[in-house]
Each structure stands twice: as C-alpha cells, then as structure tokens.
Structure 1
Amino acid sequence: MFDSSQANKPDITGRAEIETLVNTFYDRVRDDAVLGFIFNEVAQTNWTTHLPKMYAFWETVLFRTGGFTGNPMAAHAKLVPLTDMGRDKFDHWLQLFRSTVDDLFAGERAEHIKNCAADMANVIYSRINQVPDPRFDPANLTPEQRERYARYKPPPVV
C-alpha cells in the first residue's frame, strides 16, 4: 500500500543527507531515556569526533566513498563490563534509527540503510555478548531461505 506521508521525502543521495540523518539521529539518542545514559555517561561520547566518524561510516556503507576507519566491534565491546548491552538496547537503537530515517527520507537508499543498520545491530550484539546471531538460526529461516541455503551448503566430508 502506498504511504502518502513518504511521497515528498527525498532519498539519501550523498554526504549532505547522511550528515542530516546522523545529526538528527544522535540528537535523539542524546535525549533518549534508554540510550542517552549509555552514550553520555557510560561511553562519555566525544560528539565532536564521533559524528564525523559516523558520517564516514554511513557514507562508506551506502556509497563506498566515506573512507571509514575504525573498529566498531571493539568500541562496543569495551562497554559490556560497564553497562547492560542486551538485545533490548540494540532493538531500541534500531527502532530509533529506523524512525529517524523514515522521518527524513524515503526511497531505495533509505530502505537500504535501515537494512544495513539491522545487520550491524545483530552482528555487534551477538559478537560482544558472545551469543549466536539470531539471523542465522535455522529455525528463523523461511522455506525459501532454507531451500537456498541447502543449495549452497557444501556436501558433507566423507
């Protein structure tokens, strides 16, 4: 069904839109009852350095041009002994990210960045908490995914 509220929103076309998204998102994070504490008090995020890293990260994700360098896994892992980094925090982060994208943008890249954010949240959550990534639980696969997986599965070693 067509969502008329999205009709006049631009898609993400370059660095300017990424900066708008990142700035808006992290303004919301700072004020968020669940995430603000983690970023402001626990991680003591230096926003002057963090925001440009996030511009480069998302520009690299969408356009392969951002020149991002860094280790997001290590940055998140060092927070584990300091605060709860459970599934609910990552789900909340993702919901806030998706709603920010939806408030600002519509289109193929807007959808793609939300999918990339979901992948990133799943990978970081599972690795820093040393739990299986729920996306790869065979019980969560659709019949089509199971069929595709079976075709690419290497034959058993005899």
Structure 2
Amino acid sequence: MTTKTDITTLDDIKLLVDSFYSTVQKDAFIGPIFNGKIGNRWPEHLEKMYRFWQTILLEVHSYSGSPFPPHKHLPVDKEHFDRWMEIFVATVDTLFEGPIADEAKMRAKNMAEMFNYKINYFRDASQNGDLLNSK
C-alpha cells in the first residue's frame, strides 16, 4: 500500500479536481445539474477549478473572479450540497493526507454552507419580490 501525501503541487490539485469532477459527472443526484449547466465546457471549467484551488490551498494567485454568481440560480438545495461534500471528502481522503488536505475539506465545507445560504437567500428574496409585485 502506498503512503498518501499532502496536497503540495499543481499536479496534486489537478488530480483532486479531475478525480472529484469525474465522480460528480457520473453521480445520479448532482451529475445532471453539473452536466446541464456546464455542457461541453468541462475543459474550461476544470481549468478554472485548478486555478481556484491552487489559489485557495497553495497560495499561488492564479484565480481571480467571484465564484458565487455562476451558482446563484442553480436548482439546488442542502441535499445537493451534502452530496457534493460527500464526494469531495471521499475524493480528498482517497488521494491525500495532511494539513492541506484537511484545509481543502474545511474550505469546501465552508463554501458549500455559504453557497447554500446565499442561494436560499436570493431564492427567498425573489419569491417574496414576486409576491409583493403580484399584489
């Protein structure tokens, strides 16, 4: 059995991202949402995710942008984020071990919770606005 190492290089990030999204694409619950949104732009999305996680975990500032807006109107709920986290944690735990791997899971958990909160906030605001506008 090989000893797992921590996430330390861009190649590690690429392995994590590619492995994670390979599983996501095939997942019966969240795969259709990702595949429907991303379509044939998976290579572009993966490149963006490499830069995002490289910036977050390795402090190599290769990503700029706001990660939330593309997710704002996705048809997702807490159960979708829970499944996303299950896959992410399993992927990290299968491939890596160490403080940066632990940080990756913590950052993913914080992001999933924040995205879920914000999506629900905007969904509720939109629905309440629709109710107010219909009176």
Structures share fold, TM-score greater than 0.5: yes
Matches within 5 A, 1:68-147: 68-79=63-74, 83=75, 85-130=76-121
Identity %: 39
CA distance in 2, matches of 1:110, 1:74: 26
CA distance in 1, matches of 2:73, 2:40: 13
TM-score by length of 2: 0.84
Q: Highest CA radius of gyration, 1 or 2?
A: 1
Note if 1:39 corresponds to 2:39: no
SS in 1 for 2:107: helix
- After superposition, what is the alpha-carbon deviation per residue over 1:64-123, rounded to whole angstroms, capped at 9, x for unaligned? 2142122221100032xxx2x100000110110000000100111111100000001011
- After superposition, what is the alpha-carbon deviation per residue over 1:37-66, rounded to whole angstroms, capped at 9, x for unaligned? 001124436111000100000011012214
Poorly superposed stretches of 4+, deviation over 4 Å:
none
TM-score by length of 1: 0.72
Q: Judging by fraction of residues, say which structure has more helix.
A: 2
How many residues are aligned here? 122
Which residues of structure 2 form unaligned runs of 5+? 123-135
Task: Tell which has more relative contact order, 1 or 2 (C-alpha 8 A, sep 6+).
Answer: 2
Change (3 A) 1:78 1:118: same
Which residues of structure 1 form unaligned runs of 5+? 132-158
Aligned equivalent of 1:60, options 55, 62, 65: 55
CA distance in 1, matches of 2:23, 2:96: 16
Cα displacement (A) at 1:8? 1.0
State the superposition RMSD in angstroms.
Answer: 1.7
